[in-house]
A and B are shown apart, each in its own frame.
Chain A
Amino acid sequence: MRDRTWGFLIAVCALVGGLGGCGEDDPEPDGDADADSDADADGDGDGDGDADGDGDSDCDPGPACEPADDDYRPREGDPDDEPYADCVADDGDYHPFNPESISTIARVAAFETIADLLWRGGTPTIDDFTNALTEYSTAEGLESRLSRREDVHYPPVEIDGEEVQCRDLTPDQQAENAERCVGPALIQPILNDAFDAGIAGEDPEVNAARIEAALVWFLYVSSHKELSTCVGSQGDCDSGWAYFTGGHQRDETQLGLAAYVQALEAETFDRAFDGVLAVDCWDDLDPPAGDPPARSNLELRDLAISQLDRALLRGVALIVIARLEALSTAEGTERAAWAFLEVLGPVLDREATARDGAAAGRLAAAWAAGPDAIDVEATTCDLETVFHCP
């Protein structure tokens, strides 16, 4: 069994253990786009799990999920051709613009290396943290991009009426605009502190978990950001695809964020991949034209991004739910699980607030409650409900 899926399968097994759906010899996820994967623990095909693991979920997240009419659905042959006409992505593959120069693949590979060092191989040593820091901070590596990452869910920063990029702001200005300047203002400080503590020998599992959560956050934000900005830079589409999958097609072994999601719920992974292909399709249908070159159908781009983000958010929610389960069931790793949740849980607050203010309030309170006070079952239900459909 591949190391990178091991930890997540444990969590999945814990989730479905009450149903006897996953024993120690469970096969690893094969990425075969089987909607009824083991991760869909209650077997209804809608992707919601048995949150409390007792085989009798008290949570009713809502009706079964169906793709929206205007979603791009290449696995179904995109039956109505609306609003997506025939396009290059109809064959089910992502089509890189510059397949020989996708530097993001290396950064996702670095994430995998760090994972092997810090959270897949038992308690990490000081040397493991040092080696992981070397991998993380190398030139053109993860940190180089993380330190300038903006979350394009939020509006650009304006100073004196002019848009400015976070990279050009002072640390104080970045902190004032932390939601947009998510990389330097929010994620990087977590990583700095966690690496620093890990190298000092403090709480290795806890700090490894913080690093893991922060990097997953970065992968999510980056997938969304790059696929959003490829309207002006086609290479960004490749980066977005690679930040999600590590540069792999649907039927290949996934890396990074896609591996997490696929291990937890194959259908959500497939829906996210459909979202990536939706962007690919839009780009094919709406090529840059004119002088200066411009796109003419940004509505379709927005539709594709929306489809993608919905699935990605469901994927992040699944990761959080799995770690919530670990918090309540695993022995000896609760502090690490909570450290992970403290970082990644609040990432969902923005969308939760947009979808269901009350649930968002409860979620925010949950992350503030601490590991001993959090109501795991209720929090899981809120997440399942708010992020019900990919």
Chain B
Amino acid sequence: MLLVSAAWCHAEPVRAEPAPDESCDHYVAREEREFLAEHPGATPAELERYLAGERRECVVEGTTDSGRAEDYETTTRSGAATSEAVPQSSTRVERRDIEERMPRSSPDALRYEPGVYVQQTAQSQGSAYIRGVTGQQTVMLFDGIRLNNSLYRQGPNQYFFTVDSHSVASIDVTRGSGSVLYGSDALGGVIEAHPIEPALAEGLHGLRLSPRTTLRAGTADDEIGGRFELDGQIGDRLGFIGGVGYRDVGLLESGGQIHDSVSKVYSGGERELVPRYAADGRTQLGTGFREATEDARLVYRLGEDTRAVLAIYDYRQFDAPRTDKCPPPFAPAGECLTYEEQFRALGYLALDTDLGRFARGARVGLSLQRQRERRRMDRPASIVDPQYGRDTVLTPGLTLRARTSPFRLWKRASAAIAYGIDAYRDDVSSVAWYEVHTERNDMLVYDSRGQYVEGSSYTWGGAFANLETTMWERLHARAGVRGTRIVAFSPEEPGSETSEIDRGWTSFVGGGGLAWDALPGLTITVNLDQGFRAPNLDDLTSRQQAGPGFQFENPDLVPERSVTLESGVELQRGPLRLAAWGYRMTIDDAMARRVATPEDCPKESQDCRGSWFAYQLMNLEGTAEVVGFEGLAWTRLPLGFSARATVAYARGDGPNPASRPEGSATDWEERVPLSRVPPLNGTVELLWRAPAVGVYLGAGLRWAAKQDRLAPQDEGDARIPLGGTPGYAVLDLRAGYRLGRRLGLALVAENLGDAAYRTHGSSVNGPGRSLMLSAELGL
């Protein structure tokens, strides 16, 4: 049965193929009918997963050489969802979506997903908020391997940006807690990118090589770049795919400036909105970057159910200014914080195999990830120029996942158990220094510590089991549990008055859900899941200029724990799919920033004491909560048209991190909004495709309401206008043509209304009216 065989399996059931002259939509509709006929009890989620594969295959068939479809037979794992049987609120971005929408990055590829809101601290960064949380509170995976490490910062950062969208076949977004499967951090959701796979046709002898070149240009930021990709096969067992890419991105021109919506004599010190603009009032300083990527993936078929994968993905970003610090508010124009190097390399060896009834679809993976960040602060008027910081974290990892064959619980109930273990260790190197280069001097002076403490480490391991059952064919249930042990170590550093940290946490979380197929195509689901996030090294040890101010360490933090109750209704009938989910996530001991006084700062941290705003993370006393909903509607219309709409809302509140001040005349409130929770937002898309001739046209509208529910720290954040971030509506048009694998053209006319807009919490405004063009040539 599909629901218990797909997860972590490397192969889907054998699929049909579209007739040569059959349109994709027609083909998929036919497959839908046949699937429902064969699986009358299938849930909408099962149907959608099946059809997703069919759509993908159809598109691939329409776009690639014969045999290319097999690329995808290994990419349709279960994704990040907690269970095959009991759905969570999840969606998938397909390769075709990426090619047509032409996102600027992997996070950007998620902009049309319900409940996902992409904020950017810089043009070269992007972080997906899922259900109101991001960064450390979501888990990112690449081919099942965890990307999160213990230096992940709290805010919208560059982490998922370092996944090259050209190397991605699809991205799954699962909203809701995933801590049972993925451990710490998976409070708000899970994002998993699936890499493109080499075509591996059976029966091939000799060598097959299929090169492909993609070129891309954009007018808003003078982007120009490309990728050369080689897909090949040697014999009928070894396939490989790899590529190299490069792009150069210039200053980003927006639709205009964003302003405070209220005027206020500001009592907390000066503030100034970022970014700063060039003389035209539209082009944003502190944007632009260069990027080089390389990846190689070898797949060796060891048997019918077994394959080995050796892969490396190397992302290198150069000279990417942090927009809100380039220049910092009020600073001279030449001052700029630049990420000279933002590198991430991931290599892994994985074995996908079937070891019998107790270990179906098993995967064993050994991985090594290296993240390196080198920052340069330019202050041209100073003799201390530049200042540097460099942080490196090396993360070896081990994952083992498998599931049992379905077994009978009783006459009308079957079950399967998914289980696994995982272990990772981060070893951190961190230094900071400044240089003086004058006619008299040429010297380098090291600080006593970097943003983190040299020699820190973070080790964690865990094990989980997840039972999935189907009863009376229409009732599905799951129940899972995970145990995790995390140890954080940071040595003492007397010069900076940094205390040693040697702490450990053991955490158990559980979760379960029920799904009822009330009617054919209609499923009602209720899930209750715990989540947790242990404080990481960034929380425990970092000293850094964050968006709203200087953040210094709190070595006494404890894990935050969440409980998510969600309910969803999914309807899949004919050409219509509807999904609506509501949720409430409560977080105990939530980590939030409190405003600190200069006296609270470490004595040796002059930059902390000198900041307008200093912050320290603390565990909130009481319960924070995020409540919200997300919805998706998709329908297939006549004449090749289809329409899709999403909507999402989240409202976050928590105990006020600040103590009640003395005296009665105060506007202090017991509960305050959580920081940077996205506003009500959504998308609308209308598409027309003519697969027979390879043409498509489309329009996409992204909109967001004003967000004026601001946390106390947001009011000092130079990224957020006083009075809140204005709402917006941005219309894009798309068009494209594809002639199999040989030629592909895509055009996006972005922001037709030339709206001045920014996603809430971002430093950088969205592109103004502009064009993006992509051309693909292949053999």
Contact = CB atoms under 8 A, between A and B. Distances in A.
A63 B606 CA distance: 46
Given A110-B610, A188-B381, A144 B331 contact: yes
B268 A98 contact: yes
Contacts of A235: 266-270, 612
A232 interface: yes
B438 interface: yes
A192 B438 CA distance: 10
B6 to A, nearest CB: 51
Contact of A192 (B263, B331, B382): B382
Contact of B384 (A101, A106, A133, A148): A133
Given A101-B612, A103-B610, A197-B440, A293 B264 contact: yes
B613 interface: yes
Interface in B434-475: 434, 436, 438, 440-441, 443, 445, 447
A185 to B, nearest CB: 10
Contacts of B601: 106
Interface stretch (A21-29, A36-44, A47-55, A134-142): A134-142
Contacts of B441: 196, 199-200
Contacts of A144: 331, 610
A196 B447 CA distance: 19
Nearest to A293: B265
Contacts of B247: none
A252 to B, nearest CB: 15
Interface string B677-721: 000000000000000000000000000000000000000000000
A13 B178 CA distance: 74
A141 B610 contact: yes
Contacts of B606: 106, 110, 135, 138, 140-141
B332 interface: yes
B266 A167 contact: no
B752 interface: no
Nearest to A100: B597
B265 A234 contact: yes
A67 interface: no
A187 to B, nearest CB: 11
Contacts of A109: 609
A20 interface: no
A105 B383 contact: no
In this complex, the member of B262, B265, B595 whose beta carbon has the largest number of chain A beta carbons within 10 angstroms is B265
A147 B440 contact: no
Contacts of A232: 265-266
Contacts of B379: 137, 143, 147
Contact of B269 (A195, A200, A233): A233
Nearest to A133: B384
In this complex, the member of B327, B601, B612 whose beta carbon has the largest number of chain A beta carbons within 10 angstroms is B612
B739 to A, nearest CB: 51
B265 A167 contact: no
Say which size band chain B's interface belongs to: 35 or more
A103 B438 contact: no
Nearest to B327: A167
A199 B267 contact: no
A141 B608 CA distance: 9
A196 B383 contact: yes
Contacts of A106: 598, 601, 606, 609-610
B505 interface: no
Contacts of A167: 327, 330-333
Contacts of B445: 130, 133-134
A233 B595 CA distance: 19
In this complex, the member of A107, A110, A137, A148 whose beta carbon has the largest number of chain B beta carbons within 10 angstroms is A137
A109 B263 CA distance: 33
Contacts of A140: 545, 550, 606-608, 610-612
The binding surface of chain A is classed by DSSP as: helix
B377 interface: yes
A117 B332 CA distance: 28
B614 interface: yes
Interface string B259-289: 0001111111110000000000000000000
B331 A97 contact: no
B270 A147 contact: no
A291 interface: yes
A133 to B, nearest CB: 7
B598 A103 contact: yes
Interface in B343-398: 377, 379, 381-384, 387
Contact of B270 (A105, A133, A135, A233): A233
A202 interface: yes
Interface in B648-700: none
A236 interface: yes
Given A130-B445, A137-B434, A140-B610, A236 B270 contact: yes
A199 B607 contact: no
Given A101-B595, A101-B598, A106-B598, A199 B443 contact: yes
A7 interface: no
B235 to A, nearest CB: 58
Contacts of B331: 144, 147-148, 167
Nearest to B279: A168
B269 A192 contact: no
Contacts of A148: 330-332
A288 B268 contact: no
B269 A103 contact: yes
B263 A101 contact: no
A361 interface: no
B267 A234 contact: yes
A184 interface: yes
B191 to A, nearest CB: 33
A232 B260 CA distance: 15
B559 to A, nearest CB: 28
Contacts of B384: 133, 137, 143
A171 B381 contact: yes
Interface string A181-215: 00010001000100111011010000000000000
A232 B263 CA distance: 10
Given A103-B611, A105-B609, A134-B447, 11 more contacts: A98-B269, A101-B612, A103-B609, A103-B610, A109-B609, A130-B445, A137-B379, A141-B610, A171-B381, A196-B440, A202-B440
Interface of A: 97-98, 100-103, 105-107, 109-110, 130, 133-135, 137-141, 143-144, 147-148, 166-169, 171, 184, 188, 192, 195-197, 199-200, 202, 232-236, 238-239, 288, 291-293
Interface of B: 262-270, 327, 330-333, 335, 377, 379, 381-384, 387, 434, 436, 438, 440-441, 443, 445, 447, 545, 550, 595, 597-598, 601, 606-614
30 contacts: A101-B597, A101-B612, A101-B613, A103-B269, A103-B609, A103-B610, A133-B383, A134-B447, A139-B545, A139-B611, A140-B607, A140-B612, A144-B331, A144-B610, A147-B332, A148-B332, A167-B332, A167-B333, A168-B333, A192-B381, A195-B383, A196-B438, A196-B440, A199-B443, A232-B265, A232-B266, A233-B266, A235-B266, A235-B269, A239-B269
Closest 10 CB pairs of A and B: A292-B263, A106-B609, A140-B610, A235-B269, A288-B265, A139-B607, A137-B384, A200-B440, A100-B597, A106-B610
